[in-house]
Amino acid sequence: MYPKYCYYSKVTKCQSQPIVFPAQHQDVQPGLEYLMDPLPIAENPEYRGSGKLAGKVAIITGGDSGIGRAAAIAFAKEGANVVIVYLYEHRDAEYTKRRIEELGQQCLAIAGDLRSPLVSQEVVRRTLKGFGQIDILVNNHGVQFPQCSILEITDAQLEDTFRTNIFAFFYMTKAVLPHMARGSCIINTTSVTAYEGNRYLIDYSATKGAIVAFTRSLSLSLADAGIRVNAVAPGPIWTPLQPASWPAEYITTFGTDTPMKRPGQPFELAPAYVYLASQDSGYVSGQVLHVNGGTITST
Ligand code: NAD
Ligand code: MG
């Protein structure tokens, strides 16, 4: 049930050891988690829920795989029913749904292209039909298309990156908000690249900076309504986004330039999402949690 448990032990017990991955590349984006070698580790088997999200309903975009899958499984362990939204990775989504159901919670898996605002409205319609309420929105989906120069970022790529990574966060938020009560919350996935920059990811990093400003502004705007808005800024994490965007050789040293000299695994992000989704963070809004292997960011 837990892929490569010994690998998990290696990550957690010998954190100073660099983790080296086999060279690999996937031609399509979003990438497919089930094709990755080794499989990412979505779940910490030692994580025990304590009902922090009992009775809640969460929508997680990009919840089929990677960081979104890890958050979805942890939310289920904390007692939430979860809606996962994804583009076309049906097999990855099926795994996540099955695991959530094994944990005794319900999962609705919805395939759709969030670049269209109509899809956000459809996600909300189906969530309300299935569960009758929405308490937590995790805007987490995203794409990245590395280029060596800004001159190689085509107008079509620029449009696609912004429409996917930030416009769709507006679309999802606008669709969900009318149905959120006091005590609800929104969590956005940004990136360490918003703080450090990345010479190969100029358009992507710009969308991630936009997500930070979006998080802060939305939190101010929703404070009176009792809705908290926060973000998580991951460093390099072993997810399908990586082999689907970087050249095969780059993968072999992926994440080794962090102070901890290794990439993170998706399960290491999950507690940050649980914290921001639960009342444990009841006095926290407009903030960004950095889960990045020790990289120091300015805020
Ligand atoms: P991932 O590929 O597992 O997740 C991204 C998801 O986005 C995919 O599962 C896909 O279904 C969804 N998606 C993409 N385009 C979509 C569209 N048009 N409509 C609907 N869904 C769409 O990779 P991940 O790394 O877990 O990514 C999750 C988030 O984490 C992203 O926002 C990414 O930018 C961010 N992030 C990742 C890293 C990392 O190193 N992996 C670092 C910093 C930030
Ligand atoms: Mg996916």
Using most ligand atoms within 8 A of CB, pick from 26, 141, 208, 262 the residue to mutate for ligand 1.
141
Q: How far is the CA of 67 from the centre of ligand 2 (A)?
A: 9
- Whether 298 is in a domain gets the answer no
What the block records as the tokens of 292 is 């990045």
CATH number for the domain that contains residue 271: 3.40.50.720
Q: CA-CA distances (angstroms) from residue 231 to 73, 218, 275?
A: 19, 11, 11
CA–CA dist 185, 278 (Å, integer): 9
- Whether 164 is in a domain gets the answer yes
Is the CB of 65 inside a 6 Å radius of any atom of ligand 1?
Answer: yes
Which residues lie below 8 Å from residue 122, measured CB to CB, with a gap of 6+?
110, 112
pLDDT band for position 283 (cuts 50, 70, 90): very high
- Whether 9 is in a domain gets the answer yes
| Digit-coded pLDDT (tens) for 96-106 | 999 999 999 99
Report the atom number in ligand 1 closest to the C-alpha of 89: 11
Residues 157 and 202 sit within 8 Å (Cβ to Cβ): no
Residues 246 and 276 sit within 8 Å (Cβ to Cβ): no
- Whether 296 is in a domain gets the answer no
For residue 107, give the 3-state DSSP assignment.
Answer: strand
- Whether 153 is in a domain gets the answer yes
Cis status of the peptide bond prior to 38, with omega within 30 of 0? yes
What the block records as the tokens of 103 is 């944990």
- Whether 108 is in a domain gets the answer yes
CA–CA dist 60, 135 (Å, integer): 11
| Options 5, 204, 250, 283, the catalytic residue | 204
For every residue of 127-154, DSSP letters joined together read HHHHHS---EEEE--------SSGGG--
- Whether 299 is in a domain gets the answer no
Determine the structural domain holding residue 22 and report its residue range: 4-291
| Digit-coded pLDDT (tens) for 154-212 | 999 999 999 999 999 999 999 999 999 999 999 999 999 999 999 999 999 999 999 99
Report the atom number in ligand 1 closest to the C-alpha of 208: 34
- Whether 297 is in a domain gets the answer no
Residues 256 and 18 sit within 8 Å (Cβ to Cβ): yes
Q: What is the pTM of this model?
A: 0.95
Active site residue 195: no
Give the number of the ligand closest to the Cα of residue 26: 1
Count of domains forming the chain: 1
Q: What pLDDT is attached to residue 19?
A: 67
Q: How far is the CA of 89 from the centre of ligand 1 (A)?
A: 12
Is the CB of 194 inside a 6 Å radius of any atom of ligand 1?
Answer: no
Percent over 90 (pLDDT), the chain: 92
